[in-house]
C-alpha cells in the first residue's frame, strides 16, 4: 500500500463510501481504485486526483496533503545514481535489496534520518 492509497482508503471509510460507488462518481473502474489503494497502480493523473479531491469535497491543507501523498506514492521507482558518490549508489542498492526485510520501525527511522539530513542541507 502507498501513502496515497492508505489515505484514500481512510477517506472512503470515514465517509462510508464503497469503491464501486466512488468509482462510478469519478468515472473510473472499481478495479482502478482498488489498485490505487493497494499500491498496484502508480500516482493518479492530475485530472483523476482533482476528481478525487472534488468527490470528497476537501479543500486547502487537506487537498494539498493528498496531492503531496500522491507525489510520493509511486510504488515502482527508478533511482539514477549516475554522477553521485559510490556511497549514494551503495545506499540505493542496499535499500532496493533489503526494503522488504525492514519492519515498520526501521523504515520510519530511515525516513526520519533522511528528512533530517535533507533539512540540514537546506539551511
Given a cut of 60, is residue 122 above it in pLDDT? Answer: yes
CA distance 70 to 56: 15
Q: Given CATH 1.10.260.40, say whether it is the number of domain 3-71.
A: yes
So what's the pLDDT on residue 123? 56
Question: Residue ranges of the domains in the chain?
Answer: 3-71, 86-122
pLDDT in tens, 10-68: 999 999 999 999 999 999 999 999 999 998 987 899 999 999 999 999 989 999 999 99
pLDDT in tens, 71-85: 988 878 889 999 999
pLDDT in tens, 89-117: 999 999 999 999 999 999 999 999 999 99
Cell (9 digits) for 6: 492508505
Amino acid at each position: 500500500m502507498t501513502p496515497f492509497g492508505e489515505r484514500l482508503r481512510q477517506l472512503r471509510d470515514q465517509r462510508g463510501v464503497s469503491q464501486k460507488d466512488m468509482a462510478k462518481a469519478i468515472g473510473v473502474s472499481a478495479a482502478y481504485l482498488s489498485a490505487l489503494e493497494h499500491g498496484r497502480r502508480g500516482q493518479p493523473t492530475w485530472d483523476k486526483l482533482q476528481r478525487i479531491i472534488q468527490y470528497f469535497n476537501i479543500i486547502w491543507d487537506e487537498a494539498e496533503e493528498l496531492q503531496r501523498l500522491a507525489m510520493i506514492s509511486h510504488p515502482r521507482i527508478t533511482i539514477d545514481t549516475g554522477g553521485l558518490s559510490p556511497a549514494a549508489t551503495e545506499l540505493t542498492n542496499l535499500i532496493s535489496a533489503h526494503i522488504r526485510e525492514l519492519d515498520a520501525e526501521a523504515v520510519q527511522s530511515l525516513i526520519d534520518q533522511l528528512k533530517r539530513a535533507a533539512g540540514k542541507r537546506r539551511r
